[in-house]
């Protein structure tokens, strides 16, 4: 299932779809299917236009981020926090060493902030190598260096290094959390990723407190033309589409009890 999901996303992301429609158009021209070629070309141009030159991706992402609100105050002495992986550039860290964050780095920055404020809390990091090759160190491994750099004692860390997907994050964490007596932990992950994550934890019967971070929209985005930042628009659209596919797929597979989990 992991490999299938990776291959599916390679084809389903917006820019890949646009390319596939162009390929279909060229094949249709070769075989004298002018109507099919024209339809495929129009579909490709429409996908490119909506992806690159509108705010629809950010607007959709904003909706996901709004599902679970940012907390207005720190928690009252949390005993544990779960940090979902996906925040490190694992290929780079594997080859070069060090600690290299990607756009989701706030997951670990927030965990560090809370760890320093609440020194009694445990930090549970779930995340392995999510690449097809399986040849890189995962977030659980890199996070040991990260927290040690800032003086967080190793005995406060619990790593789960085998997970490659959000489903595996939850599936592999249950027994470890129980073994270490960790309950009602803060769940730290990107805001857009929180609905799917909460749905999985609820289905698994693991009580967590949502603690969304890594907001990528202003919260006041409206659907509009935007010719100024096509690269960012494409990134936002891809993230929103991927999360939407993930929500639908997990619900269809029975891994969550709600299509769009809410507080």
pLDDT at res. 64: 98
Does 84 lie in the same domain as 60? Answer: no
Does 198 lie in the same domain as 155? Answer: yes
Q: How far is CA 34 from the centre of its chain?
A: 40
Does 139 lie in the same domain as 47? Answer: no
35's tokens: 């109507």
Does 147 lie in the same domain as 30? Answer: no
Work out the number of other CB atoms within 10 angstroms of the CB of residue 243: 20
pLDDT at res. 7: 85
Torsion of CA 142, 144, 148, 150, to 10 degrees: 60
Does 123 lie in the same domain as 88? Answer: yes
Domain span at residue 245 reads 2-65+227-252
| CB within 8 Å of 193: residues ≥ 6 apart | 64, 84, 86, 166, 243
Question: What does pTM read for this prediction?
Answer: 0.93
Does 113 lie in the same domain as 203? Answer: yes
Does 248 lie in the same domain as 170? Answer: no
CATH of the domain at 181: 3.40.50.620
User: Which positions of the chain have pLDDT values less than 70?
Assistant: none
Tell me, what DSSP letter sits at residue 225?
A: B
CB-neighbour burial class of residue 3 (10 A; exposed 0-12, middle 13-18, buried 19+): exposed
pLDDT at res. 20: 97
Does 8 lie in the same domain as 95? Answer: no
pLDDT at res. 133: 79
Tell me, what DSSP letter sits at residue 206?
A: -
Does 97 lie in the same domain as 122? Answer: yes
Does 241 lie in the same domain as 146? Answer: no
Does 60 lie in the same domain as 79? Answer: no
pLDDT at res. 2: 77
pLDDT at res. 19: 97
pLDDT at res. 135: 84
Is position 60 within any domain? yes
Tell me the average pLDDT of the chain.
Answer: 95
């Amino acid at each position: 299932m992991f490999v299938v999901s990776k291959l599916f996303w390679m084809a389903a992301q917006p820019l890949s779809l646009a390319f596939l429609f162009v390929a279909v158009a060229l094949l249709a021209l070769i075989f004298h299917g002018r109507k099919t070629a024209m339809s495929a070309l129009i579909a490709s141009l429409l996908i490119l236009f909506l992806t690159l030159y509108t705010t629809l991706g950010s607007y959709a992402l904003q909706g996901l981020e709004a599902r679970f609100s940012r907390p207005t105050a720190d928690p009252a002495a949390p005993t544990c926090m779960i940090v979902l992986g996906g925040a490190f550039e694992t290929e780079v860290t594997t080859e070069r060493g060090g600690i290299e964050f990607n756009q989701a780095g706030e997951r670990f920055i927030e965990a560090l902030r809370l760890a320093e404020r609440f020194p009694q809390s445990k930090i549970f990091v779930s995340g392995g190598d999510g690449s097809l090759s399986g040849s890189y160190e995962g977030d659980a491994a890199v996070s040991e260096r990260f927290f040690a750099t800032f003086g967080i004692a190793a005995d406060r860390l619990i790593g789960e290094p085998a997970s490659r997907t959000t489903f595996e994050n939850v599936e592999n964490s249950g027994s470890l959390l129980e073994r270490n007596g960790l309950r009602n932990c803060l769940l730290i992950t990107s805001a857009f990723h929180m609905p799917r994550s909460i749905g999985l934890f609820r289905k698994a019967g693991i009580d967590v407190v949502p603690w969304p971070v890594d907001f990528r929209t202003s919260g006041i985005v409206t659907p509009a033309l935007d010719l100024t930042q096509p690269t960012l628009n494409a990134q936002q659209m891809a993230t929103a589409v991927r999360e939407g596919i993930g929500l639908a797929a997990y619900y269809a597979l029975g891994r969550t009890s709600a299509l769009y989990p809410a507080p």
